């Protein structure tokens, strides 16, 4: 098993949902955390609760210069990142392509694809130099199946899937591992963001069945990270028991 005690784990989007749960789970395993997100006050609160060494990065992953500056400017003792959890991401809108909001598309593409690439490009050279490390991308069932009205969000998660596979090919001559963890429905702030702050509409997504929690997903992330170094967990698809596909959810299960 890979012991996470004292390892440096960078979690993007650590201010909420799956990212916050990953931070908690890695902290329980004894890791040191670099917590990144735009909402600094949330990161500060979380760091105060974790009881392990934390370094906070107020960071918009869409801003390439900011990403490069933040990673290259890490204090020396935080530079050797062992595990990168590329989690920051969002969906905006759920509508037919011909009716979609272009600003929402741009936000998703810039965050889910370009942001993940900027962070990975900044972190990976160090891992390759040290010939050690693990990149865990948070994909989605939306990266495996396109669902009606999900068009651009699904495209961004299909891109994450391709990038994950590309990374694994490009890193095969190193000991750096690459994993994708692809959840189905997880109750976080995700739907609230998707529906532009409409909390009532967002809550209906999770009615009638028991969705995953961020902690359920974090469990898989940390499990993948603790496998022996010669073992790569390439892909994990994790679903609520009431969900069988992107579109088939048993909403009379509760």
Ligand X SMILES: NC(=O)c1ccc[n+]([C@@H]2O[C@H](COP(=O)([O-])OP(=O)(O)OC[C@H]3O[C@@H](n4cnc5c(N)ncnc54)[C@H](OP(=O)(O)O)[C@@H]3O)[C@@H](O)[C@H]2O)c1
Q: Which positions are catalytic?
A: 153
d(CA 155, CA 45): 34
Pairing of strands 177-183, 54-58: unpaired
Q: Which of 57, 70, 82, 111 binds ligand X (CB under 6 A)?
A: 111
Residues from 219 through 248 that contact ligand X (CB under 6 A): none
d(CA 206, CA 9): 30
d(CA 221, CA 181): 7
Q: Which of 9, 10, 19, 177 binds ligand X (CB under 6 A)?
A: 19
Q: Closest approach of Cβ 44 to ligand X, in Å?
A: 12
Q: Which of 9, 16, 54, 94 binds ligand X (CB under 6 A)?
A: 16
Nearer CB in complex with ligand X: 4/14: 14
Tell me which stretch binds ligand X (CB under 6 A): 119-127, 183-191, 227-235, 236-244: 183-191
Q: Which of 176, 185, 202, 218 binds ligand X (CB under 6 A)?
A: 185
Q: Closest approach of Cβ 45 to ligand X, in Å?
A: 12
Nearer CB in complex with ligand X: 63/132: 63
d(CA 9, CA 87): 12
Residues from 119 through 148 that contact ligand X (CB under 6 A): 138, 140
Q: Which of 8, 18, 122, 249 binds ligand X (CB under 6 A)?
A: 18
How many chain residues interact with ligand X (CB under 6 A)? 30
Nearer CB in complex with ligand X: 53/66: 66
At 33, give phi and psi (nearest 5°).
-115, 135
Cβ neighbours of residue 251 under 8 Å, at least 6 residues apart? 207, 208, 209, 242
Nearer CB in complex with ligand X: 15/179: 15
Nearer CB in complex with ligand X: 4/138: 138
Mask for 52-91, x = binds ligand X (CB under 6 A): -------xxxx------------------------xxxx-
CA distances (Å), origin 167, targets 81, 131, 237: 17, 14, 19
Please report, as ranges, the residues that interact with ligand X according to CB under 6 A: 12-13, 15-19, 37-39, 59-62, 87-90, 111, 115, 138, 140, 183, 185-186, 188-190, 193, 214
């Amino acid at each position: 098993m890979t012991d996470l005690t004292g390892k440096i784990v960078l979690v993007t989007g650590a201010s909420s949902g799956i990212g916050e749960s990953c931070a908690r789970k890695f902290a329980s395993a004894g890791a040191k955390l670099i917590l990144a997100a735009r909402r600094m006050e949330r990161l500060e609160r979380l760091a105060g609760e974790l009881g392990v060494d934390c370094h906070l990065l107020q960071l918009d992953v869409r801003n390439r210069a900011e990403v490069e500056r933040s990673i290259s400017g890490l204090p020396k003792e935080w530079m050797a990142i062992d595990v990168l959890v590329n989690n920051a991401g969002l969906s905006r809108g759920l509508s037919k392509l011909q009716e979609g909001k272009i600003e929402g598309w741009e936000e998703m593409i810039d965050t889910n694809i370009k942001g993940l690439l900027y962070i990975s490009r900044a972190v990976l050279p160090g891992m390759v130099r040290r010939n050690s490390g693990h990149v865990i991308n948070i994909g989605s069932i939306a990266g495996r199946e396109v669902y009606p009205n999900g068009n651009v969000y699904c495209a961004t998660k299909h891109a994450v899937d391709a990038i994950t596979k590309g990374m694994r090919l490009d890193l095969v001559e190193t000991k750096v591992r690459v994993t994708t963890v692809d959840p189905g429905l997880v109750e976080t702030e995700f739907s609230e963001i998707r529906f532009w702050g409409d909390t009532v509409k967002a809550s209906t997504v999770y009615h009638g069945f028991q969705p995953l929690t961020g902690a359920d997903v974090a469990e898989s992330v940390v499990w993948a990270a603790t496998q022996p170094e010669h073992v790569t967990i390439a892909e994990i698809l994790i679903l609520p028991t009431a969900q069988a596909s992107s579109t088939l959810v048993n909403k009379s299960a509760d």
